[in-house]
Chain A
Amino acid sequence: MAGGEILKIDGITKSFGVVEALKEVSFSINRGEIHTILGENGAGKSTLVKIIKGELKPETGRLFFEGDEIPVIDPLYANSIGITMVHQELTIFEDLNVAENIYPNNIFKTRLGLIDKRKLLEQSRRQLSLFHLDIDPSERIVNLPVAEQRIIEILRAIALKRKLIILDEPTSGLSERDVKILLDLIKQLKSEGITFVYISHRIPEVLDISDRITVLKDGNYVTTVDKQSVGEAELIRLMVGREVDLLYSKKQASTGTGQKVHFEVVNLAKENFVQDVSFKLRKNEILGIYGLQGSGVEKLSQILFGLDTRDSGSIRIAGEEIRNYDSDRMMRKGFSYLNSNRKQAGLFFDMSSAENMACPVLDKVSKNKILKRKKIRQYTQGFVERFNIVIPDVKTKPKNLSGGNQQKLMFSICLGTSPGCVILNEPTRGIDVGAKAEIHKFILGLPDDDTSVIVFSSEIPELMSLCDRIVIMKNSRIVQELVGDEIDEERIMTLAAGS
């Protein structure tokens, strides 16, 4: 089980519309090693992994597995040659026991061709004890804690004789103890010759478990390093270090923010998601919130707008406490929400842009409840001009617009109610550089219109150029708040991902 290349990634390029997710990425992974792919959100990790496991087809480039080129992009094919992925969302068979989850192909047969349950349990037990796991194979898998379920999935990959196992954030949501058990298992499996491709944000963990680490940044391959030759600081620098870029000039501390508190959150908590979150948003301020996957930022955003409930804690708008609210109420209180994934929600893809714009302001564009088409057209046109949306006609549907224009449209819809505060989630996700710059300009202009902003973003440079203050979250809590000169890329990443 010596080294040697098992997977060669050669010149892979993948774009989504105008966004280049991967640009000529090439490197190779050795047999029997634990190879981590490290990078920020949007660096291209998940895109690359999807290509490896056969879900996405690259524009250019090839993959070689065990020396042979992979001819077809199909997850079933990838599985059959030995590549598998253990997802964050489990792919367990919930209603079955541990043994059948490990051996779904039920290979233990008696002479008559029937399933030999005894042997199945015995083998499972053997596998489990081999890795020092005190789990009963006849136990229903749903009764196990999540950490153990993940382990079972890994054991399944082994049982199915997979050679390359991709692990996507395998330790997210696990306690320290469980993390140790999982990492020990992976190390042990490695000694059996299994190759692991490991994806994680947690740098201490990455340094603990990896043999080699490949860093991706903005779709580019940066470098591959041996674990021994780097430290935490170096890795962070590789991940986020950038040339001074015209696009992202750091925001000068704004003198315009008043001291008046517009929106305040106190001790917000939701079991398993957020804990003890408190912060203030001042009038006409742009506040940024940063956290890696699993830190609780997604859920926090939903709770703030009332899309999900909280267990405890309070929310105050201009001093007045708001109880039992939902999104409808938050809208009436002057809030607006830009969804993080416009493909999932935030637009009505198959309705005209004018109709999209009209949704939150139906009463505004109608007389006696009857919609005035002319009014809607004018209203939409106003935003088209204001935000420079490239659109042939207000009747055009979002599905026929480019990503950047879709995003601008969504932005316009949110601003339609003239909100006092907008909650933006990933405001420039998946769009071209030009549109990105435009939208950043619009966001910076919002405080002038008496609108406060909360920005949730996974792009640190973006937050740096937009925000007066940045709050960093990790493990469901707020770690730190940075203001003015304290704001620094490496510092942010260290707080979010470091030890």
Chain B
Amino acid sequence: MKVTMNVKEILLRILKTKEIVVIVIAIIMFLILSIGASSTFLTITTFESLQASIAPNAIIAVGMMILLISGVFDLSVGSVMGLSGAITALVLSFGLPAVPAVLVGLGVGLGFGFVNGFLVAYGGVNPLIVTIGTLYIGRGLVNAVMRGELRYGIQIKNQSFLVLGQGMTLGIYNMFWIMLVVLLLAQFLTLKTNLGRRLYFIGSNYEAARLVGVKVRRTRLLTFMLSGFFAAMAGILATSRFGISSLYLGVNLELKIIISCLLGGASIAGGQGFVAGSFLGVVFLALIVSIFNILEISPYWQNIIVGIILVFIVSLDAYLVTKRKKALGAI
């Protein structure tokens, strides 16, 4: 048996993955957009602004992907994003320097992640409902932080902070570089370290993973904290980019992120998908949104389509699971 595979076989392997469908469609869409609607496309979605809108989402998606691989998900990420941004802006306005302010913001994310993770991993509570609860708490806190005159936004004047979101290095937004680092690091860890592989084991068969000695509950807790951390990071970057905090940052974002991850190869049942796929999913979704905007499809119809996609995916997933169970004798 050969130990190495030649190029042809590697290509064949890649062609068999489900992500390939998404990649192909994405490429087709991109080509159609740039050739067919070149002027509108290029003005509406310049490479620059695409970067800035994709980067924060992609960072959150990494955290979500990690959760999905291990078999759960987090619906509070949008609120955490908004809250971290708002609180960071708030402490900056109190005169705190950039670095501590960022740490505070990240701390918010870690805190939320801890609460979510603890209740799910050690309390055995349904992650969907827990994270919806924290979603509400988070959203409410954003409103509480930004009330009165502050509701139009807390201005940020700290230059070193603004560099994070607005600055560019080598012609590419800093936040894009940050996203790349996060992405590559996460992809690397999940492929090459025990820490990362553990996620797949847990997502594939929680009990079996427990019995071979994986510290399942601790890992769960850490993944939720990571998700919160990334959501906070994204919130800080987005707020830095706009230079002002916003009440609406991250609203309704969580489901779009989940869909991006599902498109990127994750499965609701867990155990599947690559971190890199989340990036693919985010780009794909961004392209679809661009197309919708060019076609002047209202955001409401976009939501309807998102809803239909979600329903479809969940139904399909359920159908396949039932089919498999019945083959094993269930009624």
Contacts and interface: CB of A to CB of B under 8 A. Distances in A.
A96 B207 contact: no
A105 B327 CA distance: 30
B204 A95 contact: yes
Nearest to B214: A104
Given A76-B210, A95-B204, A105-B212, A121 B329 contact: no
Contact of A92 (B208, B267, B270): B208
A326 to B, nearest CB: 11
Interface residues of B, number: 28
Contacts of A114: 192-193
Contacts of A95: 200, 203-204, 267, 270-272
A154 to B, nearest CB: 14
A125 B1 CA distance: 9
B217 interface: no
Interface range, A side: 20 to 34
Contacts of B212: 79, 104-105, 156, 160
A96 B204 contact: yes
Contact of A106 (B197, B209, B210): B197
B109 to A, nearest CB: 28
B302 to A, nearest CB: 31
Interface in B282-327: 327
B12 interface: no
B123 interface: no
B205 A91 contact: yes
Contacts of A279: none
A127 interface: no
Interface string B204-241: 11011111111000000000000000000000000000
A393 interface: no
A86 B327 CA distance: 20
A94 interface: yes
B331 to A, nearest CB: 5
Contacts of B203: 95
A93 B331 contact: no
Contacts of A122: 3
Contact of B205 (A93, A125, A136, A302): A93
A81 to B, nearest CB: 13
Contacts of A298: 329
B197 A93 contact: no
Nearest to B197: A106
Interface in A85-104: 89, 91-96, 100, 104
A93 B201 contact: yes
Contacts of A160: 212
Contacts of B192: 114-115, 117
Nearest to B200: A96
Nearest to A142: B324
Contacts of B191: 115
Interface string A154-198: 001000100000000000000000000000000000000000000
B6 interface: no
A205 B271 CA distance: 36
Contacts of A92: 205, 208
A118 interface: yes
Given A93-B205, A96-B271, A76 B211 contact: yes
B193 A96 contact: no
A91 B207 contact: yes
B194 interface: yes
B213 A105 contact: yes
A434 interface: no
A273 interface: yes
A227 interface: no
A117 to B, nearest CB: 8
A294 to B, nearest CB: 10
A96 B331 CA distance: 27
Contacts of A79: 211-213
Nearest to B326: A308
B200 A93 contact: yes
Contacts of B210: 76
A307 B197 contact: no
A79 B213 CA distance: 9
A308 B325 CA distance: 13
A61 interface: no
Nearest to A87: B208
A96 B201 contact: yes
Contacts of A96: 200-201, 204, 271
Q: Which of A76, A93, A115, A299 gathers the greatest number of chain B CB atoms within 10 Å?
A: A93
A91 B211 contact: yes
A55 to B, nearest CB: 11
Contacts of A156: 212
Nearest to A110: B192
Nearest to B196: A115
Nearest to A114: B192
A184 to B, nearest CB: 20
Contacts of A392: none
Given A79-B212, A93-B271, A115 B207 contact: no
Contacts of A254: none
Contacts of A113: 193
A79 B329 CA distance: 29
Contacts of A272: 327
A204 B33 CA distance: 69
A307 B331 CA distance: 7
Contacts of A106: 194, 197
Contacts of A121: 3
Contact of A273 (B193, B270, B272, B329): B329
Contacts of A118: 3
A75 interface: yes
B322 to A, nearest CB: 13
B321 to A, nearest CB: 11
Nearest to B5: A138
A91 B206 CA distance: 10
Nearest to B327: A272
B204 A302 contact: no
B197 A100 contact: yes
Nearest to A93: B204
Given A96-B271, A106-B194, A302 B208 contact: no
Interface string B145-176: 00000000000000000000000000000000
Given A79-B213, A299-B329, A91 B208 contact: yes
A16 B59 CA distance: 53
16 contacts: A76-B213, A79-B211, A93-B208, A93-B271, A94-B204, A95-B203, A95-B270, A100-B201, A105-B212, A106-B197, A115-B191, A118-B3, A125-B1, A272-B327, A307-B331, A308-B331
Interface of B: 1, 3, 191-194, 197, 200-201, 203-205, 207-214, 267, 270-272, 327-329, 331
| Among all A-B residue pairs, the 6 with the closest Cβ atoms | A95-B271, A93-B204, A91-B208, A114-B192, A308-B331, A95-B204
Given A104-B201, A115-B197, 18 more contacts: A89-B328, A91-B211, A93-B201, A94-B204, A94-B205, A95-B200, A95-B271, A95-B272, A96-B204, A104-B208, A106-B197, A114-B193, A117-B192, A121-B3, A125-B3, A156-B212, A273-B329, A298-B329
